[in-house]
Amino acid sequence: MSTVPLEKRSAVPRGSARMSSRWRDWAPLAVLVALCLTISAFNGNFLTVGNLMRLLNTAAIPMVLAMGSTFVILMGSIDLSVEGVVALTAVLASLLVANNISSVAIGLWAVPIAVVAGGLMGFVNGWLHVRVKIPSFMTTLGVGFAGVGVATAILRGFTARIADPTFRFLSLGRVLDVPMAVWIAAAAVAIALIFQERTRSGRWIYAIGADESTARNAGIPVDRTRILVFTVAGLFYGLAGVLSVAQFGQGHALISQGRLFTAVTAVVVGGTSLSGGVGSVVNTVIGVLIVVTLANGMVLMGVEPYVQQGVQGLLIIAAVALSLDRSRLDVVK
């Protein structure tokens, strides 16, 4: 009998698949290094301390979002509610600190409230997906649209402008000359890594993504784990909503536009398979850095915006093609 734990069996390569597995493991890091060398060859400003710090600051919010998306995708599901959760939590946070619309001003207490609100939306995603048996892409798409709609209705098209310097310190402040948003993103990565490596739920995610039927037969509480993972993802999205408000100094329903594409692209580019069971938090960190570095490099090299979008589109197609383990795919739908 095999002694390899169920949740790790999908990661054990056999025969000729061994080299392919190793390529998938190292490819994201190789791409990141090659990208940095290429951009620096064209523009010497890329590797300056100032630009690298801007790059890390730009990566902070996508990093937090991608931490939540990673666990959902590892289960073989997808979460399209990112923009709706960020929009609603951002509006909620902006109305709970000193602003030009509401008289409420509870300062940094707005942070945990907004994060918990994101977790509640994630719980709704998971509950509907599991209990009502609605496919994850449809459930999360609906919740995402609802989030944007409620955020729009709350502000009625207006923008809440923040007047709380302490709250804005979460993004604009610096500790040891590093933007506070970078420290918060690093903390989010550490928490995600602990959840992945040090909790049973984190290990069960791999088993569910690799083979849900086998996971059920092994006694893993699949339904409960799915709901938990969507809830955890919502908590990360809520934190990203808070950072968005702190960064831009305002809250409105459209503050999250484009965040979904960036988050999912970063996870997949990092090597996490859309079919589930393969990937990790570390992979996603590399994926975020690839996406942000590519965008930063194209700006430095003067690439036109519409060309940048085309390159990003090709990037995600190539990433999906390279990350898929075709030995596990009998049918492509």
* Per-position pLDDT tens, the chain of length 333: 444 444 444 444 455 556 555 666 677 888 888 889 988 988 888 888 999 999 999 999 999 999 999 999 999 999 999 999 999 999 999 999 999 998 889 999 999 999 999 999 999 999 999 999 999 999 999 999 999 999 999 998 889 999 899 999 998 899 999 999 999 999 999 999 999 999 999 999 999 999 999 999 999 999 999 999 999 999 999 999 999 999 999 999 999 888 998 899 899 888 888 888 888 999 999 999 999 998 888 888 887 877 877 877 787 777 666 655 555 545 444
- Residue 20 in domain: no
* CB contact at 8 A, 64 and 188: yes
- For residue 188, count other CB atoms closer than 10 A to its CB: 23
Asked if the structure places residue 310 within a domain, the reply is yes
Q: Which residue has the tokens 């030009």?
A: 100
Integer Cα distance of 168 and 172 in angstroms: 6
Q: For the packed helices 200-210 and 180-198, what is the interaxial angle rounded to 10 degrees?
A: 70
* Domain total in the chain: 1
Let me know: does 59 contact 65? Beta carbons within 8 Å: no
* Residue 164 domain-assigned (yes or no): yes
CA–CA separation, 170 vs 130, rounded Å? 35
Q: Is residue 331 part of a domain?
A: no
Q: In degrees rounded to 5, what are phi and psi of residue 274?
A: -65, -20
291 touches 265 (CB < 8 A): yes
pLDDT on residue 307: 81
Give domain status of residue 126, yes or no. yes
What pLDDT shows up at residue 331?
43
Interatomic CA distance for residues 287 and 198, integer angstroms:
22
**Rounded to an integer, what distance in angstroms lies between the CA atom of residue 91 and that of residue 245?**
8
**DSSP secondary-structure letter at 11?**
G
- Whole-angstrom distance, CA of residue 300 vs CA of residue 188: 29
Task: Strands of 252-328 (E only): list them.
Answer: none
Report pLDDT for 26: 77
What contacts 233, CB < 8 A, 6 or more positions away? Answer: 68, 69, 71, 72, 79, 122, 125
Distance CA 87, CA 154 (A): 11
| 30 inside domain | no
Domain encompassing residue 194:
47-324
Structure tokens given for 36: 């940095």
Do the domain assignments include residue 329? no
In a domain, 8, yes or no: no
CB 292 within 8 A of CB 59: yes
pLDDT value at position 29?
86
- Whether the CA torsion 73, 77, 80, 84 is positive or negative: it is negative
Cα separation of 302 and 296, whole Å? 10
Verdict on whether the full-model pTM lies above 0.95: no
Q: Side chain identity at 129, as an amino acid letter?
A: H
